[in-house]
């Protein structure tokens, strides 16, 4: 039989005996704890109720209800603002760099390499086996520890009682310790806050594929041998010889080496001429694009305000022609080309006789105002020039040193093809005017010149030289051809201008420095047909009318322009322009219209059919103080005039409709046309000024 454990029984009795006073203390302790709990519970309620109240920071803004209810919308896009927008790639199809429209908009802000493993993989199975073993070991250890703790609690139940109760108190959800460890509730936002979620749209991925077209290829193969190279050279030489025969006919045989050099030079010159033509066309195209507005005005613009000006007209400025190397020279001559109406020649020299030097002959075209078409520098100043009517490539030029020359635009080089010398009868004073005449009996070209030495000379182009013939010598008393030996030499009259009659071939007019105008004939060299006391100063210009056979105009530095009938000694019209007149010109489209330029920079345009007393247009075209106008010329077909000044500039102007007005036709009648109409219009004006006996005559 087992012996009863008296110690255990004694211990239980002792415990029972000691429990009586201990029970009172336990009850007192629990009562005290309940009172503390009630106190703590009341404190927590106040904190909870305070947590529900709105807590505002001291620096918070005061917002109205409307501002609180306002919703601020933010739209999120998938575009990366830092993505480049200027990426280019080379396109083999178009053979150029092209920008790429599709740009990767994804931006990586954070990358963290994870340790996740797919559960079906082999590595996951191995990890699962390892984790299973570790869990089994942990459970075994945990069960062993729990058994040991039970044994200890069973051995010391009285000692651990208080601890258990204390642990139980700590684990209660409404205990003060648990409330301390809990997080405080989240304070609501004081503004109108709302949580919204959005999901960005993923751009669909697209694949684009392009294939470039390969460039065309051609295979060429040849074998270069000595005889093939020789044959190629022989063929080239034969072609060059054929071209040379076509151009110059038969040639004398020369050494092979020299002939090769000559042929190479010719082919190079031909290539240069081709390039010059192409470059000239390109230059004109660029120039027309640059001055397109002026070209449009030249072709289409008509001044509509002329309808309200009654009889007055205006000049519209068009192109301005200038050459940098001719800025110090004056425009001494102007002449249009009758065959190519856009081409005109400009003579450059100096009227200041103390500053004589080199001159220049320029050819301008309205198609290219930026640069001259032809440039001919001269050793002496150019005083006058004239372009042949039929052979427009021939230009006769008179110089300050008394020489006359003929330039050909067809010939290369800058030297004249004909030029007079002291041996061939050149003038001893400046040549003031030259004029082409019809060919002689032997079909030789010839022209006339007048100079301050009093000679009117005919020049004939014979082969390679100029042959001169004195037509008349000007004197103060009369014309002298050849005087007897020992006779007293008459005083010489200096010729300044002349002009040949448009219809009567042998008749011409000569103006002198003394202000007289002589009517002369080619057949009567010993005397003048008639002399007009025209001006008080030198006669600068004298010109026959294009239509009326009796009318001519003259101008002088005495400020006057006069209209004459060569059958009457007195002028028909006299116009005072208040300044020295440099030049005067008839209009080719009307018998009553003419223009004059003065040294004060003004262009005067007259129409006697509209106003017989004053100009219908007086326009200042240059700076009055610095520039003087020297010459004026009408275009043969276009309503355009060109004006030259003493600074080397040539300016073109378009005449307004009032300056080229035609008479109105009566109802039911057609407007008559032709030169007879212009002759009748001028004759009507002259008949009003003639005396009755002159009209009958």
Q: What percent of the chain has pLDDT over 70?
A: 76
Strands in 359-365's sheet, in edge-to-edge order, are: 330-336, 343-349, 359-365, 374-378
The pLDDT of residue 363: 92
Residues 6+ apart with CB under 8 A from 306: 312, 313, 314, 656, 657, 658
Select, from the ranges 25-29, 249-253, 572-576, the one with the highest average predicted confidence (pLDDT).
Answer: 572-576
For 367, which DSSP code? Answer: T
- pLDDT at position 402 over 60: yes
The pLDDT of residue 438: 85
Select, from the ranges 132-146, 151-165, 186-200, 329-343, the one with the highest average predicted confidence (pLDDT).
Answer: 329-343
More confident residue, 524 or 22: 524
Question: Mean pLDDT across the stretch 454-472?
Answer: 87
Over the range 157-176, which residues count as b (16 or more CB within 10 Å of their CB) and which as e? eeeeeeeeeeeeeeeeeeeb
Q: In whole angstroms, give the CA distance from residue 361 to residue 353.
A: 19
* CA dihedral angle for residue 382, residue 383, residue 388, residue 393, rounded to 10 degrees: 10
**CA 530 vs CA 458, 471, 473, 527, 561: distances in Å:** 21, 16, 15, 9, 20
The pLDDT of residue 168: 47
- The mean-pLDDT minimum among 211-215, 379-383, 583-587 falls in 211-215
The pLDDT of residue 15: 41
The pLDDT of residue 190: 59
Question: Mean pLDDT across the stretch 173-189?
Answer: 55
The pLDDT of residue 135: 77
531 — pLDDT class (breaks 50, 70, 90): confident
Q: What digits encode the pLDDT tens for the residues 561-619? A: 999 888 888 888 899 888 889 899 999 888 889 999 998 889 999 988 888 888 888 88
651 — pLDDT class (breaks 50, 70, 90): very high
396 — pLDDT class (breaks 50, 70, 90): very high
For 284, which DSSP code? Answer: H
Strands of 265-424 (E only): list them: 315-321, 330-336, 343-349, 359-365, 374-378, 382-387, 394-399, 404-408, 418-419
Distance, C-alpha 109 to centroid of its chain: 52
Question: Mean pLDDT across the stretch 482-505?
Answer: 72
Question: Mean pLDDT across the stretch 386-392?
Answer: 90
Q: In whole angstroms, give the CA distance from residue 83 to residue 106.
A: 9
Per-chain mean pLDDT for the chain: 78
Question: Mean pLDDT across the stretch 257-282?
Answer: 62
Q: Collapsing DSSP states into helix, strand and coil, what is residue 458?
A: strand
Per the listing, tokens 């005072």 go with: 576
- The mean-pLDDT minimum among 145-154, 443-452, 621-630 falls in 145-154
Both tokens assigned to 193: 């806050």
273 — pLDDT class (breaks 50, 70, 90): low
More confident residue, 575 or 194: 575
32 — pLDDT class (breaks 50, 70, 90): low
pTM to 2 decimal places: 0.59
Question: Mean pLDDT across the stretch 106-131?
Answer: 85
3-state SS of 629-658 is: EEEEEECCCCCEEEEEECCCCEEEEEECHH
The pLDDT of residue 652: 92
- pLDDT at position 322 over 80: yes
Q: Collapsing DSSP states into helix, strand and coil, what is residue 473?
A: strand
Architecture per CATH, domain 295-689, reads as 7 Propeller (2.130)
- pLDDT at position 492 over 90: no
The pLDDT of residue 5: 45
Other C-beta atoms closer than 10 Å to the C-beta of 515 total 19
Question: Mean pLDDT across the stretch 208-217?
Answer: 85
The pLDDT of residue 405: 92
The pLDDT of residue 3: 42
- pLDDT at position 480 over 60: no
Q: What percent of the chain has pLDDT over 90?
A: 15
Q: In whole angstroms, give the CA distance from residue 297 to residue 317.
A: 9
272 — pLDDT class (breaks 50, 70, 90): low
* CA dihedral angle for residue 177, residue 178, residue 180, residue 185, rounded to 10 degrees: -160
Q: In whole angstroms, give the CA distance from residue 232 to residue 669.
A: 76
Per the listing, tokens 């001055």 go with: 291
Distance, C-alpha 387 to centroid of its chain: 35
- pLDDT at position 643 over 90: yes
- pLDDT at position 266 over 60: no
Per the listing, tokens 């009796």 go with: 550
Question: Mean pLDDT across the stretch 457-475?
Answer: 86
Domain boundaries, the chain: 295-689
Q: Collapsing DSSP states into helix, strand and coil, what is residue 520?
A: strand
109 — pLDDT class (breaks 50, 70, 90): confident
């Amino acid at each position: 039989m087992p012996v009863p454990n008296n110690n255990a029984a004694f211990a239980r009795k002792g415990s029972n005996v000691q429990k009586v006073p201990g029970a009172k203390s336990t009850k007192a302790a629990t009562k005290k704890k309940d009172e503390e709990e009630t106190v703590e519970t009341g404190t927590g309620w106040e904190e909870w109720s305070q947590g529900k109240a709105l807590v505002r920071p001291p620096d918070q803004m005061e917002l109205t209800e409307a501002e609180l209810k306002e919703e601020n919308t933010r739209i999120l896009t998938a575009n990366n603002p830092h993505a480049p927008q200027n990426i280019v790639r080379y396109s083999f199809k178009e053979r150029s760099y092209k920008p790429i429209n599709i740009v990767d908009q994804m931006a990586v802000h954070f990358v963290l390499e994870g340790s996740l493993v797919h559960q079906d993989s082999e590595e996951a199975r191995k990890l699962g086996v390892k984790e299973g073993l570790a869990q089994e070991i942990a459970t075994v250890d945990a069960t062993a520890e729990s058994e040991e703790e039970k044994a200890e609690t069973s051995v010391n139940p009285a000692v651990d009682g208080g601890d258990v109760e204390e642990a139980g108190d700590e684990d209660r959800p409404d205990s003060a310790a648990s409330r301390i460890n809990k997080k405080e509730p989240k304070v609501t936002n004081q503004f109108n806050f709302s949580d919204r979620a959005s999901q960005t749209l993923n751009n669909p991925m697209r694949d684009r594929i392009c294939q470039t077209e390969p460039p065309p290829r051609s295979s060429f193969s040849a074998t270069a041998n000595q005889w093939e190279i020789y044959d190629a050279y022989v063929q080239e030489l034969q072609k060059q010889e054929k071209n040379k025969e076509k151009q110059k006919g038969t040639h004398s045989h020369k050494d092979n080496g020299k002939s090769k050099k000559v042929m190479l030079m010719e082919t190079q010159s031909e290539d240069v001429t081709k390039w010059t033509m192409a470059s000239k066309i390109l230059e004109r195209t660029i120039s027309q694009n640059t001055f397109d507005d002026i070209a449009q005005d030249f072709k289409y613009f008509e001044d509509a305000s002329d309808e309200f000006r009654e009889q007055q007209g205006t000049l519209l400025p068009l192109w301005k022609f200038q050459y940098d190397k001719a800025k110090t020279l004056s425009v001494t001559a102007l002449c249009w080309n009758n065959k190519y109406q856009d081409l005109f020649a400009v003579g450059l020299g100096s009227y200041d006789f103390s500053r004589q030097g080199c001159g220049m002959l320029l050819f301008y075209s309205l198609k290219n105002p930026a640069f001259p078409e032809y440039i001919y520098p001269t050793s002496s100043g150019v005083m006058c020039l004239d372009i042949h009517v039929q052979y427009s490539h021939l230009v006769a030029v008179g110089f300050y040193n008394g020489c006359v020359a003929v330039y050909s635009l067809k010939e290369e080089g800058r030297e004249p093809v004909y030029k007079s010398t002291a041996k061939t009868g050149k003038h001893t004073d400046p040549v003031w005017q030259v004029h082409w005449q019809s060919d002689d009996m032997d079909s030789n070209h010839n022209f006339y010149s007048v100079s301050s030495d009093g000679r009117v000379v005919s020049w004939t182009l014979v082969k390679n030289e100029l042959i001169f013939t004195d037509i008349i010598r000007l004197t103060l008393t009369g014309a002298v051809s050849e005087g007897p030996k020992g006779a007293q030499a008459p005083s010489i009259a200096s010729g300044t201008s002349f002009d040949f009659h448009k219809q009567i071939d042998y008749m011409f007019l000569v103006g002198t420095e003394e202000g007289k105008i002589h009517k002369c004939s080619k057949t009567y060299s010993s005397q003048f047909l008639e002399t007009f006391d025209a001006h008080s100063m030198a006669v600068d210009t004298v010109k026959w009318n294009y239509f009326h056979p009796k009318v001519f105009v003259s101008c002088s530095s005495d400020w006057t322009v006069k209209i004459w009938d060569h059958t009457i000694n007195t002028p028909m019209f006299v116009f005072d322009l208040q300044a020295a007149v440099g030049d005067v010109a008839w209009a080719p489209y009307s018998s009553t219209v003419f223009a004059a330029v003065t040294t004060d920079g003004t262009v005067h345009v007259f129409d006697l059919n509209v106003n017989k007393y004053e100009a219908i247009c007086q326009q200042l075209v240059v700076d009055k103080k610095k520039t003087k106008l020297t010459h004026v010329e009408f275009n043969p077909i276009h309503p355009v005039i060109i004006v030259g000044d003493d600074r080397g500039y040539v300016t073109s102007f378009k005449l307004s409709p009032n300056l080229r007005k035609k008479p109105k036709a009566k109802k039911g009648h057609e407007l008559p046309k032709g030169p007879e109409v212009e002759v009748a219009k001028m004759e009507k004006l002259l008949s009003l000024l003639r005396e009755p006996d002159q009209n009958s005559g």
